[in-house]
Chain A
Amino acid sequence: MADDVIDLQVWKGDWGLPTVDPACLSTLSYCRFSGVPVKLRKTGNPWRSPSGELPIMKHRNVTETKVSEIFSYLRKQNYGCDFALSNKQSADAVAFSSMLEEKLLPAILHLWWIDGKTFVDFTRPWYTKVLPFPLNFFIPGQKQKQASLRVYLTKGGTNVSDTELEAKIYKEAKECMNLLAYRLGKQEYFFGSSPSSLDALVFGYLAPILKAPLPNNQLQNHLKMCDNLCSLCNRILLRYFPPDPEEGAKKKKAEASKSQSSSDLQEFPNKKRNMVLAAIFALTAMAGYALLSGIIQIDIVDDSNSTSDKTNSTSSYFSKPQTYNNEPVFEDNDGYDDE
């Protein structure tokens, strides 16, 4: 039925991921795991969301934007991948999701939004490209402010300096990744051989760290050392997010046009030089013609002369045809009588 399909808006994807934002990725993977019929819309516009954030899930008359609320709504609709979990495992899932939010999220926020180099080189250009005009002017700055408030107010203290805070946050994030790796062990997914909501959350947080080409990524280096977490992410990507053939063709086209425009760019410096030289030549030719044909005349005026001479020369600037020997055309003795 048409109204059973759930409408989901997420951020656009990149680098092999269907979407870039951790919350959107968690929601999308939970829907894929549970087999929820989803109509996916990839947008760059969070303006229409009630809270200003993506993902937005719309179903019948209900709109939800937070990940935990989306999960509980889907559970109430009997879509879920957690039915096989025992009570104790559900309790563990709740605890681990809190741990992710408490220990890993601050480091991710810091890396994406607060670290100066990453923000300027990577995050801000990406979001500026994706957001429509005029949102691309102020939304990246707004998100940066939200991220820094969240990190500094919850993790900072009155006498804690920025470098200490940074060290603390990254240390906790690395410990969190180690703890997740210990808990996962050699299993396929966290609770056995089928994925659950916890796998969706972990995948949502870890996949962007793994795949995004960030310039200075100590988290990525640490994550690559945790083999089982990397293989979990890759396994989920292969199984539930197979590369879309349409999107692959689009990407190839985009890359081809990019290479074409870059080859244009290589000829461009020469073109510009030629254009400038041609312009200078044209200007010189026109100025020379104007001088020679008398349209513009340059008089050199002696300072000792009276003002009448000066007015003569000024009047001669106004396109009056002049003879070459600078005599006025209308002479008194040319035959016209004033009588």
Chain B
Amino acid sequence: MSSLVAEAIQAELGAYEPWPDNACLYQPYQVEQITFPDYANCLSVKTFLHMCGLEFHTEVRTNAEEMSPSGKVPFIHVGAFLVSELDPIIAFVNTRGFQLSRDLDEGLKSEMRAYMALIENVMVNAELYLAWIDEAVSEEITKPRYGYIHPWPLNRLLPWKKQSNVRARLDSIGWAKKTMDEVCDEVKTCCQALAERLDSKQYFFGDKPTELDALVFGHLYTILTTRLPVSRFAEIVQQFSNLTAFCTRVEENFYKKYGRDF
């Protein structure tokens, strides 16, 4: 459960329990199934847990999306709790006493939350747009991957249903009618803001990573490394050298150093 009641219970019970050894993160199959918006979310969560120094192992399931308490991947299984999506996972981890941004003062914390909201508002929607609304990408990449594990006719019906859900969601905020150019402009504005904020620092708020760093890494790394018919987002991100250097740095410090897989 990712509800308010559950969080209150977690604060009561979880605070006394140490992080177990068998903590699990569930996600869809990486090579054949997962779509890149979901992959960005999974990578953000994994990076966050690595940054906190929490051990977990990754379970791949074809029906991870249906298993999740809120219908979105990834979700973690810790002790008796199932928590999905990055924000509830951050809150859950905080109740266990692990907080990356504990040294920041209130003004900086609010700036951090604002930048995280910026990523959610712009990057997540832009990725959904590119994956599901853009003709080339949705027909060639996203829909085949999403329906990969199902037999005919489910492998046609389920992606179509998901596409109309995503379209309705983007329509409710006015993104479905945007052209590709407008979406690229939004991405560029977002990257500009992030580049300004990062400047020449190691991480966004000094020398130690915070939740924002995990989130930004997840999304930017996915955009840079996913091979798509339309690579305009990658070109936009590459224009900002400090962002690409940031991604390389996080990859180096939290993945390559420990030999971890993505």
Q: Do A and B come from one complex?
A: yes
Contact B70 A98 (CB under 8 A): no
**Segment touching A, from B118-126, B233-241, B244-252:** B118-126
Interface size, B (range): 35 or more
Q: How far does the alpha carbon of A87 sit from the alpha carbon of B196 in the complex, in Å?
A: 7
A39 on the B face (CB < 8 A): no
**Segment touching A, from B21-29, B36-44, B167-175:** B167-175
In the complex, the chain B residue whose C-beta lies closest to that of A181 is: B110
Within 83-134 of B, Cβ neighbours of A (below 8 Å) are at 106-107, 109-111, 113-115, 117-118, 120-122
Contact B3 A167 (CB under 8 A): yes
Contact B173 A179 (CB under 8 A): no
Chain B residues with Cβ below 8 Å from A103 are 117
Contact B107 A182 (CB under 8 A): yes
Contact B173 A95 (CB under 8 A): no
With contact pairs A91-B197, A98-B121, A154-B173 given, residues A167 and B4 touching in the complex (Cβ less than 8 Å)? yes
Nearest-Cβ distance from residue A207 to partner chain B, whole angstroms: 20
Chain A count of residues within 8 A CB distance of the other chain: 34
A164 on the B face (CB < 8 A): yes
**Segment touching B, from A155-163, A238-246, A269-277, A302-310:** A155-163
In the complex, the chain B residue whose C-beta lies closest to that of A180 is: B110
- Most chain A beta-carbon neighbours within 10 Å: one of B2, B172, B192: B172
With contact pairs A99-B113, A159-B71, A168-B3 given, residues A154 and B197 touching in the complex (Cβ less than 8 Å)? no
User: Quick one: which of B110, B118, B120, B169 contacts A94, CB cutoff 8 A?
Assistant: B118
Q: How far does the alpha carbon of A224 sit from the alpha carbon of B172 in the complex, in Å?
A: 31
A118 on the B face (CB < 8 A): no
User: Quick one: which of B4, B165, B172, B174 contacts A168, CB cutoff 8 A?
Assistant: B4
Q: How far does the alpha carbon of A87 sit from the alpha carbon of B197 in the complex, in Å?
A: 9
Contact A92 B169 (CB under 8 A): no
7 contacts between A and B (CB under 8 A): A90-B193, A91-B197, A95-B118, A96-B114, A98-B120, A167-B3, A178-B110
Pick the 10 closest A-B CB pairs, nearest first: A158-B71, A157-B70, A179-B110, A99-B117, A91-B196, A91-B193, A98-B118, A95-B114, A182-B106, A98-B121
